[in-house]
Structure 1
Amino acid sequence: MDRTRLLFVLFGGLSELCCHVSANRGGSPSFSDEIPFKINWPGDEFTLPTSGALYKDDDFVIMTTTEKEKYKCLLPSLSNGDDDDVKEYAGPTPGDLLDPLFKQSSCSYRIESYWTYEVCHGKHVRQYHEEKETGQQIKLQEYVLGSMTKKTESSTTSGTETAEKVEETKPKSEPEKEEAFSSTHKPLVVGGQTHITVGTTHISRLTDEQLIKEFLSGSYCLHGGVGWWKYEFCYGKHVHQYHEDKEQGKNMVVVGSWNTEEHLEWAQKNVARSYQLKNDGVQKVKLVSHFYGHGDVCDMTGKPRQVIVKLKCKESASPHAVTVYMLEPQTCQYVLGVESPVICQILDTADEKGLLSVSS
């Protein structure tokens, strides 16, 4: 009888402790099946070890019930080893990890509401803000936050710390220039934030014949844009303009869609293929233009949007760099430029209408 009464008192005290249930004097505590708990009674002769590998004397918590009953709860150790031991690191150095970025000469961008932060790996860090003025002039306000010299790069590659040369410039305005951004293949997500990689980006596999076929078939799309609007170009399919918002999702505008007959009709009245005469007298295709129509209806003009996609051969020290830019010379009439040395390899396949062919 005494053992049963002791068991009931102990069970009631633990229930109040675990479930935060107060017992009214003269009544019983209220229980609810909605509160998940489980108590395993090991028996009245069960004792816990006060020392050893599993429990330590200093790892305990004193618990007190509403009846002022105190319990000493021992906390088990999760591991037997010493976690504070410093293990010798034999992996790659910071310079080794950053070396591919230095070789690619790529830049990463963090876009804020006003400032855009540019990190060109191995070169510089700057913040800038661009505003378009009348006549398509771009007013540029920028600050160079830091730059890396050859000495700094060499020291970083060897894995030693060195002080970087910090430069600061005054805000300045630049004349009209072409707004150019490189293609973005995959957004980088770090810490829940999306970082867009633009600038001069190497595409190491773009020279591969199979990937060129994927681009011309429309299965390999190019992404670009800095600021509110981004855009997607899938060759022979469409040009989309979009903005992604965490709360409202993706807002997309169809700038233009491909239709072969409409392009052929456009090519009869416009130049679809331009040539350049080399120093050796050889005539090479320099630029190919394609018409994409039937975009979403523009609110300002009441007409569907349309875009001229210009594929241009551009010589560069980076043989696999791709530059993408979008202009709007007239309301809801766009020009999408794609420039790369890689395009030089396929422009010569263009016919008089500017249509490209893929070798089988």
Structure 2
Amino acid sequence: MLRSLVFVAPLLVWGHDIKGFDDTVLFDIHWPGENTDFANAENMIVTTSHQEKYRCILPNIQEKETSSEEKYEGPTALEVISPLFTQSSCTYRLESYWTYEVCHGRFIRQYHEDREGKKVKLQEYTLGRWDEKLYEKMLSQAKEAEKDKSIQVPVKKIDNVNLPYVEILMGNGTQCDLNQNKPRETRVLYVCYIHGKHEVYSLKETSTCQYEIIILSPLLCSHPKYKPKETGENKINCVPLDNSPPQPYNLAKMKIESTKLRRKSDLDRIKIEFVPPPDFTDKEEVSKMPETKPHDASPVQSFLAGKNCLTGGTGWWRYEFCYGKSVEQYHIEKDGSKVTIKLGTFNKQKHIEWMEQHPHKRPKPLAQRTQLSHFYSEGTVCDKTGKARQTEVKLKCLEDSTSLNTVSLYLLEPRYCEYILGVESPLVCDILARADENGLIDVGEEEGDELPTVNIRL
């Protein structure tokens, strides 16, 4: 009997009643062609939305008999990992701008160092501190819970596998000006990983100034309740019927599109391209996998006019840049509402005044010019400084690139509520000559001069 089955919804339509769905039971669909033995195997006919037909062999999944848990009288899970809290060991996670320092049993810190000559400016926040009293309370509760067999160990889904974890709450961090000056706090989840070295598996901001860190620790593996359950993939073999293609058309289409939607999500950068959608009306196009070529200059002109905005960021906060208009940081809540912090708006006169105060920001002679700087001011007032937020937008010419139409975005905060937004692309090289002495570009300066198309890949 088929216990559970996971399919990409647009691909296949199943006329089969799936009961007892459990997405921790994994399936992998194979397309071996016609050399498949269907003898004495349960199978079904599958029809796709394009009326392609396949015969699929269903794996024989036998329900494992539940047996009583091995009697365990050892230390609690919290006691098992307690040596980590007394060894003064720290784990580090390096990202594009911030460095995160997790010192088990002490504190969690987020910091960035700016070096100016021999001077070092440090920007840091404490995301949580160890609370000995809270730990003792948790230890007492853990011992009571160990005796109660009805209490289920909490699990966290990691790479589609439910892993039991031990949670340590570390609060009393640096006050957060975006959260009514409440202190930052972090939930640290320890999971069993036999090859782990107490490193950070993931770190994310689950809500404003509230964080979650997952630590891979081999210590926890000595407790039987915290060992990950083995979940192998169950193979489903599907072969075509009635002259159907070896694989469904939509699957081949999805594979093509996935190669065009890659991005480096581990960095707070994105690749941006405005690409016209591929024409998939002809199935032969799927096998040919044609290269899409930009052909319209209007996206760049719309961008310079502030009509096409660029969006970046992969964490809790994202940001939006509208050229000549504004830079905003925002978050979408579960109810669909949008929390927005304005990092700056463009005012031509204020930009010129900023240029006069910072003459080194002016464009260099054309032969040496590689970037332009624009000043966006009068953002949302910062509780930390009492001043309006502001952003310097750096448009940088990037000559060495595998794609001539790539745009790369990144956002830095070198000082409290003062930001740098980097926009790097070979396309900037083509507009450098249009800038005046203040770095400003007159979009309508050359009506007949077409700019290259900016391709956007998200």
If the TM-score is normalised by the length of the shorter chain, which range does it land in?
A: 0.3 to 0.5
**TM-score, structure 1 normalization:** 0.46
**More relative contact order, 1 or 2 (CA 8 Å, 6+ apart):** 2
**TM-score, structure 2 normalization:** 0.36
Based on CA coordinates, which of the two structures has the bigger radius of gyration? 1
